[in-house]
Amino acid sequence: MMDWQGQKLAEQLMQILLLAFAAVSFGTGYALGSFQMMMLIYAGGVFLTTLVTVPNWPFFNRHPLKWLDPSVAEKHPKPQQQQAMSLKKKPAKK
């Protein structure tokens, strides 16, 4: 499983790579005057971005979570919720 920091890294990589490929594909398509070339370059960038960010690569799991053992969790009482104090509205000064 990917940890929280790995998910953040994957999302940041996705955004950076897609933006970079969009800029490169637009510039190349504009320079060549080819919409088809622009779309092919961007499609390749989306494919490469998917290969980098979707699989659960080991570098996305450098900070695994350490869950509390259930037998230890039963020994500690659950925190009680405090009664919410009703806040009265103060009269507006005129």
pLDDT of residue 48: 98
**Residue 48, domain member (yes or no):** yes
Using DSSP, state whether 13 is helix, strand or coil. helix
pLDDT of residue 85: 52
**Residue 30, domain member (yes or no):** yes
Half-sphere exposure of 4 (CA within 13 A, CB side): 2
Query: Would you give the DSSP letter of residue 60?
Result: G
Question: Residue 31 sits in which domain range?
Answer: 21-53
Longest CA pairwise span in the chain (Å): 70
**Residue 77, domain member (yes or no):** no
pLDDT band at 69 (very low <50, low <70, confident <90, very high): confident
Indicate if the pLDDT at residue 37 is higher than 80: yes
pLDDT of residue 50: 97
**How many domains does the structure of the chain reveal?**
1
Q: What is the pLDDT of residues 38-68, one digit of tens each?
A: 999 999 999 999 999 999 989 888 888 887 7
Alpha helices in the chain (DSSP H): 4-32, 35-53, 70-75
